[in-house]
Amino acid sequence: MPNDPDTDYTFKLNTNNTMYDLCVVGAGLIGSAAARHASLQPNIRVCLIGPEEPKERRLESPREIFGAHYDEGRVTRCSDPDPVWATLAQNSINRYRELEATSGVTFYSETGCLMSGPPGGQFMTNTQETVTSQNIQHDYLTPELLRKRFPYLNLRDTDEAIFETKNAGYISPRGMIDAQKRVARDNGCDVINDVVCEISRNHDSGVRLMSVLTESGQKVEARRVLIATGSFTTFRKLLPPGREPDVTFCPLAVAKVEVSSEDVKRLGNMPSILYYGDGAPDWPEDYPRSPNRVIGIYVLPPIKYPDGKYYIKLGDFHDSVPQRLSSLEEVKAWYCTDGVTPLVTKSARLITALTKGIKPLSYHGDHCVITKTPTNRPYIDLVHPSLGVAIGGNGYAAKSSDEIGRIAAMLVLYGKWDSELPVEAFKLKLKDKPNSKL
């Protein structure tokens, strides 16, 4: 169901049947970025359609569409073992401050990103090769320097680290989307708070037009449409028959531990953290590990949330929850899962083990779903000349969303690939079907 119609971004279509050059479906991180970049183009009429964040998530609610961006913290950094993701991140991060200044919304905290693990391990070896080959500013920290620089972190005595000191830290997904929408709206983009249920291609006097129908009954006409609807892309009639993208829906859970103002001050220089290793000897033994007993986690420093409290967030990566989702009912149920589960409890215990001396005031969990592609890269492609997709974040897209949205908007508007990255890296792959071609 559509959200409260009285929200700030609600826009009711005029009765004059406005024709848009581009309609962006999906108002998350990628969709809002695409709408902003499209709105900056001269003589281009743009609309962005997507529901606002719900006030609550309940299984009993008629609401079915949710988003992974209902949060205040996502790790951002320039380095990545995959040069494609590294370039997307760098191009996006380079525009953060400009977007903040233009929108008046602060969403980026440059706290740095600490990547740690055992010396000689694959993670640290790959990280060192990445920051060196990509000329990323960093400090190498021996185990001794690591303990001296961040004395409150409880890591294994032999762990080393690479500290990405510039253009790294964390972003607020909520804040970034707000910034994108504000700038897009200031540039004439109509932002419509609704859920799209169907997209079709029609002909009017020999001209091909795209028709977008929303759950509230609004009909939007546009020359071109970009779909940026994440894990909900296949659960509405958005793509033509036989064009089902090859994606997997991975459920993820995180823990958020509330900390006192005293602990916030004591952890004042805490960066975002990525860790792959054995962990300290007193880390919870029952925390999920890979088959070779390695722990892989990301951690956000204390961040202030809308309830006025500060939380440290910890999450695992794609295999922390082995199940995969396949239906709208399963995806909705995961988003509406109660905040405390066994995995959340284990993650909260790991936060207290990792950050020495903190006194947790409370903890709870959160859940989201990421869209994983077989290429481990996003799909940015045309389904046909009037319809494009920008989906498949693989759990890495938040920091890179501005560049993903920009590339997608230019591709759908002009039919041209506007990136130094190879177009082949982003080709849409479909579910296996005989003679299935784009």
Provide the pLDDT confidence category of residue 2 given band limits of 50, 70 and 90. Answer: very low
Residue 98 lies in a domain: no
- pLDDT of the residue at 16: 45
Q: Is the pLDDT of residue 5 over 50?
A: no
- pLDDT of the residue at 270: 97
21: burial class by Cβ within 10 Å (0-12, 13-18, 19+)?
middle
99: burial class by Cβ within 10 Å (0-12, 13-18, 19+)?
buried
Q: Is the pLDDT of residue 139 over 90?
A: yes
Distance CA 370, CA 376 (A): 12
Torsion of CA 98, 103, 106, 110, to 10 degrees: -10
Judge if 337 and 258 occupy the same domain: yes
3-state SS string over 193-232? CCCEEEEEEEEECCEEEEEEEECCCCEEEEEEEEECCHHH
Judge if 282 and 329 occupy the same domain: yes
CA-based nearest residue to 195, from 70, 71, 66, 380: 66
* Contact present, 268 and 111 (Cβ < 8 Å): no
- pLDDT of the residue at 9: 36
Q: Show which of 327, 349, 372 is a domain's final residue.
A: 372
| Token pair recorded at residue 313 | 């967030």
- pLDDT of the residue at 147: 97
Can you give the residue range of the structural domain that contains 323? 113-165+248-372
Distance CA 412, CA 38 (A): 10
Judge if 151 and 237 occupy the same domain: no
Distance CA 53, CA 381 (A): 27
| Mean pLDDT in residue range 9-19 | 51
Residue 86 lies in a domain: no
Residue 199 lies in a domain: yes
- Secondary structure class of 116 (helix, strand, coil): strand
Residue 99 lies in a domain: no
Judge if 63 and 27 occupy the same domain: yes
* Contact present, 245 and 340 (Cβ < 8 Å): no
Q: Show which of 350, 372, 394 is a domain's final residue.
A: 372
Task: Give pLDDT tens digits for 34-73.
Answer: 999 999 999 999 999 999 998 888 888 888 889 889 999 9
Judge if 276 and 347 occupy the same domain: yes
Q: Show which of 347, 372, 397 is a domain's final residue.
A: 372
Provide the pLDDT confidence category of residue 220 given band limits of 50, 70 and 90. Answer: very high
Q: What DSSP element (H or E) covers 47? A: strand 46-49
Judge if 289 and 358 occupy the same domain: yes
Find residue 369's DSSP bridge partners. Answer: 251
- Domain of residue 318, CATH code: 3.30.9.10
Residue 93 lies in a domain: no
Judge if 239 and 255 occupy the same domain: no
Q: Provide the phi-psi class of 151: left if phi over 0, else alpha when psi is between -120 and 50, else beta.
A: alpha
Provide the pLDDT confidence category of residue 12 given band limits of 50, 70 and 90. Answer: very low
Tell me phi and psi for residue 157, to 5 degrees.
-55, -25
Provide the pLDDT confidence category of residue 88 given band limits of 50, 70 and 90. Answer: very high
- pLDDT of the residue at 338: 74
Task: Give pLDDT tens digits for 354-365.
Answer: 999 999 999 999
Residue 100 lies in a domain: no
- Secondary structure class of 180 (helix, strand, coil): helix
Cα 331 to the center of its chain, rounded Å: 16
Judge if 290 and 359 occupy the same domain: yes
Judge if 273 and 224 occupy the same domain: no
| Mean pLDDT in residue range 102-115 | 98
Q: What percent of the chain has pLDDT over 90?
A: 80
* Contact present, 77 and 87 (Cβ < 8 Å): no
Residue 357 lies in a domain: yes
Tell me phi and psi for residue 359, to 5 degrees.
-115, 95
Give the Cβ contact number of residue 12 at 10 Å.
Answer: 12
Q: Is the pLDDT of residue 265 over 60?
A: yes
Distance CA 281, CA 98 (A): 44
- Secondary structure class of 192 (helix, strand, coil): strand
- pLDDT of the residue at 319: 63
* Contact present, 47 and 72 (Cβ < 8 Å): no
Judge if 363 and 392 occupy the same domain: no
| Buried/exposed code over 272-284 (b: 16+ C-beta within 10 A; e: otherwise) | bbbbbbbbbeebb
Judge if 192 and 308 occupy the same domain: no
Judge if 311 and 242 occupy the same domain: no
Residue 137 lies in a domain: yes
Q: How far apart are the first and last CA of the chain?
A: 32
Distance CA 76, CA 398 (A): 8
Look over the chain and give the mean of its residue pLDDT values, rounded to a whole number.
91
- Domain of residue 49, CATH code: 3.50.50.60
Number of domains in the chain: 2
CA-based nearest residue to 290, from 280, 279, 282: 279
Q: Is the pLDDT of residue 256 over 80?
A: yes
